[in-house]
Amino acid sequence: MSAEILAFPSGASPDPSGASSDPGPEAADAGLPGAAPVLVGCSHGTSDLTGRDVIRALLDDVRAARPDLDVREAFVDVQQPEVADVVTSVVAPSAATDDPAGSVADGARPGDAVVVPLLLSGGFHVSVDVAAAVEDRGPGTGRAAAGSPLGPDPRLADLLAERLAEAGVRPDDAVVVAAAGSSRPGAARDVEELAARLRERVPQPVTVGYGAMATPSVPDAVAAARADLAPGGRVVVAAYLLAPGFFYDRVLEAGGDVVTAPLAPDPRLTAIVLDRYTAAAATLAPPR
Protein backbone atom coordinates (compact mmCIF):
# COMPACT_ATOMS: atom_id res chain seq x y z
CA MET A 1 0.00 0.00 0.00
CA SER A 2 1.44 3.34 -0.95
CA ALA A 3 1.46 6.16 1.54
CA GLU A 4 0.28 9.67 0.89
CA ILE A 5 3.36 11.87 1.27
CA LEU A 6 2.77 15.29 2.73
CA ALA A 7 4.66 18.26 1.34
CA PHE A 8 7.48 19.44 3.55
CA PRO A 9 6.53 22.53 5.54
CA SER A 10 8.29 25.69 4.54
CA GLY A 11 10.93 26.97 6.90
CA ALA A 12 10.04 29.74 9.27
CA SER A 13 12.14 32.38 10.93
CA PRO A 14 12.72 31.73 14.61
CA ASP A 15 10.24 33.37 16.96
CA PRO A 16 12.15 36.05 18.86
CA SER A 17 10.07 35.24 21.93
CA GLY A 18 11.20 31.60 21.79
CA ALA A 19 14.92 32.16 21.36
CA SER A 20 16.36 35.43 22.58
CA SER A 21 19.28 37.04 20.79
CA ASP A 22 20.63 38.14 24.16
CA PRO A 23 23.66 35.92 24.83
CA GLY A 24 22.97 36.03 28.55
CA PRO A 25 25.36 35.75 31.50
CA GLU A 26 25.84 32.00 31.19
CA ALA A 27 27.26 32.26 27.68
CA ALA A 28 29.52 35.16 28.58
CA ASP A 29 30.90 33.34 31.62
CA ALA A 30 31.46 30.08 29.77
CA GLY A 31 33.59 31.14 26.83
CA LEU A 32 36.53 33.35 26.03
CA PRO A 33 36.50 36.81 27.58
CA GLY A 34 33.68 38.58 25.77
CA ALA A 35 32.91 35.54 23.60
CA ALA A 36 30.56 32.62 24.00
CA PRO A 37 31.60 29.03 23.37
CA VAL A 38 31.28 27.82 19.80
CA LEU A 39 28.02 25.97 19.20
CA VAL A 40 28.69 22.75 17.30
CA GLY A 41 25.45 21.39 15.88
CA CYS A 42 26.07 17.68 15.45
CA SER A 43 23.65 15.66 13.32
CA HIS A 44 23.82 12.06 12.15
CA GLY A 45 24.67 12.89 8.54
CA THR A 46 22.88 11.79 5.39
CA SER A 47 23.51 11.29 1.70
CA ASP A 48 20.07 12.74 0.97
CA LEU A 49 20.60 16.23 -0.44
CA THR A 50 17.24 17.53 0.77
CA GLY A 51 17.98 16.17 4.23
CA ARG A 52 21.30 18.01 4.24
CA ASP A 53 19.54 21.24 3.29
CA VAL A 54 16.98 20.80 6.07
CA ILE A 55 19.62 20.37 8.78
CA ARG A 56 21.59 23.29 7.39
CA ALA A 57 18.42 25.40 7.50
CA LEU A 58 17.96 24.51 11.16
CA LEU A 59 21.46 25.75 11.95
CA ASP A 60 20.86 28.86 9.85
CA ASP A 61 17.81 29.55 12.02
CA VAL A 62 20.01 29.18 15.11
CA ARG A 63 22.47 31.69 13.63
CA ALA A 64 19.65 34.11 12.90
CA ALA A 65 18.33 33.83 16.45
CA ARG A 66 21.78 34.21 18.02
CA PRO A 67 24.01 36.21 15.64
CA ASP A 68 26.56 36.55 18.46
CA LEU A 69 27.35 32.82 18.30
CA ASP A 70 29.85 30.99 16.14
CA VAL A 71 27.71 28.07 14.92
CA ARG A 72 29.42 25.15 13.18
CA GLU A 73 28.15 21.94 11.63
CA ALA A 74 29.45 18.44 12.43
CA PHE A 75 28.40 14.82 11.95
CA VAL A 76 28.75 11.37 13.49
CA ASP A 77 28.35 9.41 10.26
CA VAL A 78 28.11 9.68 6.45
CA GLN A 79 29.18 13.34 6.17
CA GLN A 80 32.26 15.35 7.08
CA PRO A 81 33.57 16.98 9.20
CA GLU A 82 33.41 14.57 12.10
CA VAL A 83 32.32 16.04 15.40
CA ALA A 84 35.62 15.30 17.18
CA ASP A 85 37.55 17.13 14.46
CA VAL A 86 35.33 20.22 14.73
CA VAL A 87 35.73 20.34 18.50
CA THR A 88 39.50 19.96 18.15
CA SER A 89 39.57 22.85 15.69
CA VAL A 90 38.06 25.04 18.42
CA VAL A 91 39.82 23.89 21.57
CA ALA A 92 43.29 22.92 20.35
CA PRO A 93 46.19 25.37 20.81
CA SER A 94 46.50 25.78 17.06
CA ALA A 95 42.99 27.25 17.03
CA ALA A 96 44.34 30.36 18.74
CA THR A 97 47.43 31.01 16.63
CA ASP A 98 45.87 33.18 13.97
CA ASP A 99 43.13 35.75 13.82
CA PRO A 100 40.81 35.97 10.79
CA ALA A 101 43.23 38.34 9.06
CA GLY A 102 46.00 35.76 9.25
CA SER A 103 48.18 37.39 11.91
CA VAL A 104 48.94 36.09 15.38
CA ALA A 105 46.19 37.20 17.73
CA ASP A 106 47.41 39.15 20.75
CA GLY A 107 46.70 37.18 23.92
CA ALA A 108 44.65 34.58 22.07
CA ARG A 109 44.00 31.20 23.58
CA PRO A 110 42.02 28.19 22.43
CA GLY A 111 38.28 28.56 22.53
CA ASP A 112 35.55 26.57 24.20
CA ALA A 113 32.95 24.45 22.44
CA VAL A 114 29.49 23.12 23.20
CA VAL A 115 28.23 20.23 21.10
CA VAL A 116 24.46 20.13 20.72
CA PRO A 117 23.35 16.75 19.35
CA LEU A 118 20.79 17.37 16.60
CA LEU A 119 19.33 14.00 17.52
CA LEU A 120 15.97 13.19 19.07
CA SER A 121 17.05 10.66 21.69
CA GLY A 122 20.08 9.63 23.71
CA GLY A 123 21.35 6.65 21.74
CA PHE A 124 24.77 5.33 20.79
CA HIS A 125 25.91 8.44 18.94
CA VAL A 126 25.20 10.67 21.94
CA SER A 127 26.68 8.40 24.60
CA VAL A 128 29.73 7.34 22.57
CA ASP A 129 30.59 9.60 19.62
CA VAL A 130 29.57 12.94 21.11
CA ALA A 131 30.86 12.04 24.57
CA ALA A 132 34.27 11.15 23.10
CA ALA A 133 34.35 14.37 21.08
CA VAL A 134 34.19 16.56 24.21
CA GLU A 135 36.81 14.69 26.25
CA ASP A 136 39.56 16.80 27.81
CA ARG A 137 42.42 17.18 25.34
CA GLY A 138 44.96 18.07 28.01
CA PRO A 139 46.89 21.13 29.19
CA GLY A 140 46.69 24.23 27.05
CA THR A 141 43.42 23.33 25.39
CA GLY A 142 40.02 24.91 25.65
CA ARG A 143 37.04 23.34 27.33
CA ALA A 144 34.24 21.36 25.72
CA ALA A 145 30.86 20.10 26.85
CA ALA A 146 27.99 18.18 25.32
CA GLY A 147 24.37 19.21 25.51
CA SER A 148 21.46 16.83 25.81
CA PRO A 149 19.73 15.55 22.67
CA LEU A 150 16.70 17.49 21.48
CA GLY A 151 14.20 14.96 22.80
CA PRO A 152 12.19 14.18 24.67
CA ASP A 153 10.76 17.67 25.04
CA PRO A 154 7.14 18.84 25.35
CA ARG A 155 7.67 21.15 22.38
CA LEU A 156 8.46 18.15 20.19
CA ALA A 157 5.15 16.56 21.18
CA ASP A 158 3.42 19.82 20.22
CA LEU A 159 5.25 19.82 16.89
CA LEU A 160 4.42 16.19 16.14
CA ALA A 161 0.74 16.83 16.97
CA GLU A 162 0.84 19.76 14.56
CA ARG A 163 2.31 17.59 11.82
CA LEU A 164 -0.53 15.11 12.38
CA ALA A 165 -3.09 17.90 12.07
CA GLU A 166 -1.43 19.06 8.84
CA ALA A 167 -1.71 15.49 7.57
CA GLY A 168 -5.46 15.53 8.19
CA VAL A 169 -5.57 12.86 10.89
CA ARG A 170 -9.14 11.66 11.50
CA PRO A 171 -10.91 10.49 14.67
CA ASP A 172 -10.96 6.83 13.57
CA ASP A 173 -7.28 6.77 12.55
CA ALA A 174 -4.46 5.13 14.49
CA VAL A 175 -1.10 6.83 14.94
CA VAL A 176 2.29 5.11 14.82
CA VAL A 177 5.23 7.21 15.95
CA ALA A 178 8.17 6.19 13.75
CA ALA A 179 11.57 6.75 15.35
CA ALA A 180 15.03 5.90 14.04
CA GLY A 181 15.83 3.42 16.82
CA SER A 182 18.95 2.61 18.80
CA SER A 183 20.61 -0.31 20.58
CA ARG A 184 20.68 1.78 23.77
CA PRO A 185 17.65 1.29 26.06
CA GLY A 186 17.66 4.95 27.02
CA ALA A 187 16.82 5.95 23.48
CA ALA A 188 13.66 3.83 23.52
CA ARG A 189 12.67 5.36 26.86
CA ASP A 190 13.05 8.81 25.34
CA VAL A 191 10.77 7.87 22.43
CA GLU A 192 8.20 6.28 24.73
CA GLU A 193 8.16 9.46 26.82
CA LEU A 194 7.52 11.48 23.68
CA ALA A 195 4.70 9.10 22.69
CA ALA A 196 3.13 9.46 26.14
CA ARG A 197 3.12 13.22 25.74
CA LEU A 198 1.62 12.90 22.26
CA ARG A 199 -1.23 10.78 23.70
CA GLU A 200 -2.11 13.77 25.88
CA ARG A 201 -2.46 15.91 22.75
CA VAL A 202 -4.33 13.68 20.28
CA PRO A 203 -7.39 11.44 20.81
CA GLN A 204 -6.22 8.65 18.48
CA PRO A 205 -4.42 5.56 19.83
CA VAL A 206 -0.64 6.09 19.63
CA THR A 207 1.93 3.33 19.36
CA VAL A 208 5.65 3.31 18.52
CA GLY A 209 7.78 1.65 15.84
CA TYR A 210 11.51 1.83 15.14
CA GLY A 211 13.53 2.01 11.96
CA ALA A 212 16.38 -0.15 13.29
CA MET A 213 17.99 -1.69 16.38
CA ALA A 214 14.78 -1.80 18.44
CA THR A 215 11.39 -3.46 18.33
CA PRO A 216 8.73 -3.35 17.12
CA SER A 217 9.83 -2.28 13.66
CA VAL A 218 7.78 0.41 11.96
CA PRO A 219 6.20 -2.11 9.51
CA ASP A 220 5.27 -4.38 12.43
CA ALA A 221 3.80 -1.47 14.39
CA VAL A 222 1.82 -0.36 11.33
CA ALA A 223 0.49 -3.90 10.81
CA ALA A 224 -0.54 -4.17 14.47
CA ALA A 225 -2.28 -0.80 14.35
CA ARG A 226 -4.12 -1.79 11.16
CA ALA A 227 -5.40 -4.99 12.78
CA ASP A 228 -7.18 -2.93 15.45
CA LEU A 229 -8.55 -0.18 13.16
CA ALA A 230 -12.17 0.90 13.30
CA PRO A 231 -14.02 0.65 9.97
CA GLY A 232 -12.85 3.44 7.68
CA GLY A 233 -9.85 4.23 9.83
CA ARG A 234 -6.32 4.69 8.53
CA VAL A 235 -2.83 4.18 9.91
CA VAL A 236 -1.09 7.55 10.07
CA VAL A 237 2.65 7.34 10.60
CA ALA A 238 4.06 10.29 12.56
CA ALA A 239 7.66 10.61 11.42
CA TYR A 240 9.67 11.38 14.56
CA LEU A 241 12.65 12.38 12.45
CA LEU A 242 14.28 15.74 11.86
CA ALA A 243 14.80 15.50 8.11
CA PRO A 244 14.42 13.26 5.08
CA GLY A 245 17.05 10.62 4.55
CA PHE A 246 17.59 6.88 4.91
CA PHE A 247 15.19 6.32 7.82
CA TYR A 248 12.48 8.55 6.37
CA ASP A 249 12.63 6.54 3.13
CA ARG A 250 12.11 3.36 5.16
CA VAL A 251 9.15 4.96 6.93
CA LEU A 252 7.54 5.78 3.59
CA GLU A 253 7.79 2.10 2.68
CA ALA A 254 6.39 0.79 5.98
CA GLY A 255 2.76 0.40 4.87
CA GLY A 256 1.11 3.43 6.45
CA ASP A 257 -1.74 5.21 4.67
CA VAL A 258 -0.36 8.67 5.45
CA VAL A 259 3.15 9.72 6.52
CA THR A 260 3.75 13.11 8.10
CA ALA A 261 6.58 15.38 7.09
CA PRO A 262 9.75 15.39 9.22
CA LEU A 263 10.00 17.91 12.03
CA ALA A 264 12.59 20.41 10.79
CA PRO A 265 12.85 23.27 10.27
CA ASP A 266 10.63 24.87 12.89
CA PRO A 267 11.13 27.73 15.37
CA ARG A 268 10.52 25.36 18.29
CA LEU A 269 13.51 23.28 17.23
CA THR A 270 15.62 26.43 17.13
CA ALA A 271 14.57 27.24 20.68
CA ILE A 272 15.34 23.71 21.89
CA VAL A 273 18.81 23.81 20.33
CA LEU A 274 19.56 27.07 22.09
CA ASP A 275 18.19 25.80 25.39
CA ARG A 276 20.44 22.75 25.17
CA TYR A 277 23.39 24.98 24.31
CA THR A 278 22.77 27.36 27.23
CA ALA A 279 22.47 24.53 29.75
CA ALA A 280 25.71 22.90 28.59
CA ALA A 281 27.58 26.19 28.34
CA ALA A 282 26.73 26.92 31.96
CA THR A 283 28.70 23.82 32.99
CA LEU A 284 31.83 25.42 31.53
CA ALA A 285 31.56 28.46 33.76
CA PRO A 286 34.55 28.87 36.10
CA PRO A 287 33.96 28.37 39.85
CA ARG A 288 32.79 31.52 41.58
277 and 136 in a common domain: yes
Does some domain include residue 15? yes
Give the pLDDT score at 286.
Answer: 67
186 and 226 in a common domain: yes
188 and 116 in a common domain: no
251 and 158 in a common domain: yes
The answer on pLDDT for 21 being more than 60 is no
140 and 248 in a common domain: no
The answer on pLDDT for 146 being more than 80 is yes
The residue range of the domain holding 174 is: 154-259
Q: Which residues contact 204 (CB under 8 A, 6 or more apart)?
A: 169, 171, 173, 174, 175, 236
Residue pLDDT, tens place only, 196-221: 999 999 999 999 999 988 999 999 99
Helix orientation angle between 267-282 and 49-65, rounded to the nearest 10 degrees: 60
DSSP state of 18: T
Instruction: Tell me how many domains the chain contains.
Output: 2
What's the CATH code of the domain at 231? 3.40.50.1400
234 and 107 in a common domain: no
The whole-angstrom separation of Cα 192 and Cα 213 is: 15
Residue pLDDT, tens place only, 34-59: 489 999 999 999 999 999 999 999 99
The whole-angstrom separation of Cα 132 and Cα 39 is: 17
103 and 173 in a common domain: no
203 and 133 in a common domain: no
68 and 113 in a common domain: yes
pTM for this prediction: 0.84
